[in-house]
Amino acid sequence: MAQTQAKTVKGTAPHGTGASESGNGRILEVQNPATGQTIARVPAIGTDDVAELAARARAAQPGWEALGFEGRAKVLKRAQKWTTDNADRIARTIISETGKTYEDAQLAEISYAAQAFGFWAKNAEDYLADEKVRSTSPFVAGRKLFVRYAPVGVVGVIGPWNYPLTNSFGDCIPALAAGNSVVLKPSEVTPLTSLLMAEMLEECGLPKDVFGVVTGRGEAGAELVDHVDFIMFTGSTATGKKVAERAARTLTPVGLELGGKDPMIVLADADLQKAANAATYYAMQNGGQTCISVERVYVEEPVYDEFVQLVTEKVGKLRQGVPTKPGNVDVGAVTFAPQVEIVDAHVKDAVAKGAKVTVGGHRREGAGRFYEPTVLTGVDHSMQCMTDETFGPTLPVMKVRDAEQALELANDSDYGLQASVWTKDTAKGEQIAKRIDAGVANVNEHQINYLAMEIPMGGWKSSGLGTRHGPDGIRKYTRKQASVITKYGLKREIFMFPYSGWSAKLIGGVSKLLYGRGKRP
């Protein structure tokens, strides 16, 4: 299933990497994390190439914008069809560079992208239609007021390695639908999916240079920030802050989708089977390498032991290994080599401070990078596994006195991306969810909101700035232009020169009449 032959991907095609033939003499080696084999070599783009690629994207943008919503939607709908027709090829590419399972590639990547093409093709025009505005100001009476959303020009998208399709390329779709050109910088660890998407867009008739891919290291991402009109960044909080600082130099607006330490609160009246299935799935799906994974669980005392027993059994049954075909394993590899060290350090730190491993707890030896699906109990907030993003297949479970203590601990975090409350009393669940400091707070659901593109998704606190999906998920790629249109009007407004006492009196009188009536509250 995975590509095993190393190949060099050239980057000079219009929709390609934009690299010079030599790629400044540097090469990125792409590995299959599940096998340890090198599967491709791509040019590592230098900073000059980034500037050139952005300049070409800028030159191509007006033509793309001129196609209008309908013209752009046609290309996006072709892309949707291509994605579904070529699902297996896309899955193989994603699996080969991430080591994730076929199922993880299918639902959260390919199905997401197929849905997103259709969603933005259909909704871009509505979300970005001119908005008529009514004003209470008497000075604009009889005039037409509206707000227009104009594409910013060139959008730079920088993405992480955990979801090369959804979290790198996915954010390009609304940017393109809005009429922008896009330059995408995927993680150096997973460039192949983005290159495949470039090939796909070319086949689907996207005009030359409207989309470009920068296959390069972090410095190429930093350089990209200087050449675009909006930067959409998904990745760690530490890098997100660097991107925001760099963007501040040119006053370039940013969208930041950053890390998380998502809590799950299980109340004593929860359906425990359902909650345990969800905890197991949402902590281990994609090997726990999801920004909105369940990263920590707080369980009310009366049901703690039973919940621990359930998740231990369920996690213990998970099959881990090299994904070779649909259904052969449940949990895949750790995509990014240094991540294994972080996961291992969090488990060791917890154990050293008194936590218990009920299942898993070790990295696997041999070719490929794997960490065993792990459940930790007896944990508390002195341990890194409860405070820092682990981003791996671990499920730490903490006993709490009651819902209030769970809430206090859930909010005891710099992060605020996503959270869930589990209870049969959904009204009580909603009350608790409202008090969690997070951009998304669900009841008896953990991640399903991501598939409902009508509602926003984004982090509070150190988890980000802005949102994706919903109206703001496309408006952020535009600049608002306000207009007042006057058809019939006076030759000289009463407030214009020459100033005379009577106009001040009149304006003062009108102002008093409109705003000065009634008693002082």
172 catalytically annotated: no
Query: Structure tokens of 150?
Result: 């104009």
Rounded to whole angstroms, how far apart are CA atoms 208 and 192? 20
Closer CB to ligand NDP, residue 188 or residue 372? Answer: 188
Is 502 exposed, middle or buried (CB count within 10 Å of its CB: 0-12, 13-18, 19+)?
exposed
Least gap, CB of 257 to ligand NDP (angstroms): 3
Q: Which of 40, 113, 182, 189 binds ligand NDP (CB under 6 A)?
A: 189
A 10 A CB-CB count for 417 gives 27
Q: Which stretch binds ligand NDP (CB under 6 A): 34-42, 82-90, 114-122, 158-166?
A: 158-166
Contact 353, 384 (CB under 8 A): no
Closer CB to ligand NDP, residue 217 or residue 461? Answer: 217
CA dihedral 238, 240, 241, 244 (to 10 degrees): 170
Closer CB to ligand NDP, residue 157 or residue 278? Answer: 157
Q: Which of 323, 393, 464, 473 binds ligand NDP (CB under 6 A)?
A: 464
Least gap, CB of 10 to ligand NDP (angstroms): 19
Query: Structure tokens of 98?
Result: 């991430």
Full DSSP string of 349-409: HHHHTT-EEEE--SEEPSSS-EE--EEEES--TTSHHHHS---SSEEEEEEESSHHHHHHH
Least gap, CB of 231 to ligand NDP (angstroms): 8
Least gap, CB of 414 to ligand NDP (angstroms): 12
Segment 402-441, which members bind ligand NDP (CB under 6 A)?
A: 417
Contact string (CB under 6 A) for ligand NDP, positions 310-349, x = contact: --------------------------x-------------
Q: Which of 65, 188, 209, 388 binds ligand NDP (CB under 6 A)?
A: 188
Of the listed 291, 295, 385, 389, which one is catalytic? 291
Under the binding rule (CB under 6 A), the answer on residue 282 touching ligand NDP is no
Q: Which stretch binds ligand NDP (CB under 6 A): 65-73, 154-162, 198-206, 422-430?
A: 154-162
Size of the site for ligand NDP (CB under 6 A): 32
Of the listed 97, 188, 223, 257, which one is catalytic? 257
Under the binding rule (CB under 6 A), the answer on residue 259 touching ligand NDP is yes
Question: What are the DSSP E strand ranges found in 431-504?
Answer: 440-443, 460-461, 464-465, 478-485
Closer CB to ligand NDP, residue 370 or residue 415? Answer: 415
Closer CB to ligand NDP, residue 107 or residue 268? Answer: 107
Least gap, CB of 441 to ligand NDP (angstroms): 15
Whether the upstream peptide bond of residue 373 has omega within 30° of 0, thus cis, is no
Q: Which of 80, 98, 123, 167 binds ligand NDP (CB under 6 A)?
A: 167
Contact 297, 395 (CB under 8 A): yes
The strand pairing partners of 156, in sequence order, are 183, 231
313 catalytically annotated: no
Under the binding rule (CB under 6 A), the answer on residue 389 touching ligand NDP is yes
Least gap, CB of 21 to ligand NDP (angstroms): 21
Contact 264, 276 (CB under 8 A): no
Least gap, CB of 187 to ligand NDP (angstroms): 4
Rounded to whole angstroms, how far apart are CA atoms 36 and 385? 27
Under the binding rule (CB under 6 A), the answer on residue 33 touching ligand NDP is no
Interacting residues of 137 by C-beta distance below 8 A, sequence separation 6+? none
Least gap, CB of 438 to ligand NDP (angstroms): 11
Rounded to whole angstroms, how far apart are CA atoms 259 and 509? 55
Closer CB to ligand NDP, residue 110 or residue 222? Answer: 222
If we measure between CA atoms, which residue out of 22, 13, 32, 37 comes closest to residue 333? Answer: 32
Half-sphere exposure of 24 (CA within 13 A, CB side): 16
Is 352 exposed, middle or buried (CB count within 10 Å of its CB: 0-12, 13-18, 19+)?
exposed
Give CA 216 to chain center in angstroms.
Answer: 20
Query: Structure tokens of 238?
Result: 């530490």
Rounded to whole angstroms, how far apart are CA atoms 121 and 201? 14
Under the binding rule (CB under 6 A), the answer on residue 181 touching ligand NDP is no
Contact string (CB under 6 A) for ligand NDP, positions 213-242, x = contact: ----xx--xx-----------xxx--x--x
The strand pairing partners of 511, in sequence order, are none
Residues annotated catalytic, as ranges: 257, 291
Positions that interact with ligand NDP (CB under 6 A) = 158-163, 167, 185, 187-189, 217-218, 221-222, 234-236, 239, 242-243, 257-260, 291, 336, 389, 391, 417, 459, 464
